[in-house]
Amino acid sequence: MAYEALLVPVWFYSYSAVVYAVTAMISFLISYFSFRLYRMSSLRINLMMMLTFVFMGLAFSILCATSFFTYASSSSYKIYDQLYELNRYGFISYYTLSLVAYMLLAVMYLPKKFRDKFLVAYVPLWYLDFFEFHATSAILIGYATIVSFARFMKKRKLDSLLVVVAFVMIELSHIMMMLTQFDAVLYIVAHSLLAVGFASLLAMLVRVSRK
């Protein structure tokens, strides 16, 4: 079991580290602009958006660090067991932080009378495997996608469209990962879609903050 990491090509870790780093950076930028909007409006929904992407930024920062360390250490055949453990705990941290973030995001799209009752989001799971994580994420993001699309159909504004595009890209990323066996190239493509989704959400926040 500890030697499953040998099935992943070394180049994967360098490319994944870059994708994770870009996604983490975009996540923290979203947090920054969300906080700016919160200071301007005092709306708790903006504060929840900030917390959501703080968690996402931390999650992808952890994956970036583990991928970079794995790539840098891949020439040493004596530490594969340690690299396996490092990546396992890195992904457990990523799963946990991401699910907390997605739960906050889903709560944001609940009707206001229900949303205001949620103060803390709990993840009562010690461990999620690859499929379970992406299935749960797809359900949570799917709900946000449906609500945001319904709002876009009412407003027909660019800001609303950017939110829909963001959630569709994030949803596609998780569906791709859930419905296919692991493939290094597909994994990079799926997470690139995730980064595009985050970038679309960032573009919306930048537009709103300038108004």
Residue pLDDT, tens place only, 161-193: 999 999 999 999 999 888 877 777 888 889 899
Locus of tokens 């917390």: 51
What is the Rg, in whole angstroms, of the alpha carbon atoms belonging to the chain? 18
pLDDT-derived band at 148, boundaries 50, 70, 90: very high
* Residue 79 falls inside a structural domain: yes
Instruction: Tell me the C-alpha distance between 93 and 189, whole Å.
Output: 22
Q: Domain range for residue 138?
A: 4-109+123-209
Residue 1 binned pLDDT confidence (cut-offs 50, 70, 90): very low
Number of domains in the chain: 1
Mean pLDDT check: name the lowest of 2-16, 38-52, 144-158: 2-16
Tell whether 118 is covered by a domain.
no
pLDDT at 199: 94
pTM over 0.85: no
pLDDT tens, residue by residue, 35-80: 999 988 888 888 889 999 999 999 999 999 998 888 887 665 555 6
Write b or e for each residue in 53-90: b if 16 or more Cβ atoms lie within 10 A of its Cβ, otherwise e: bbbbbbbbbbbbbbbbbbbeebeeeeebeebbebbbeb
Neighbours of 182 (CB within 10 A): 11
Q: Would 160 be classed as within a structural domain?
A: yes
E strands in the chain: none
Of the candidates 124, 115, 200, the residue with the CA atom closest to the CA atom of residue 162: 200
Answer yes or no: is 39 within a domain: yes
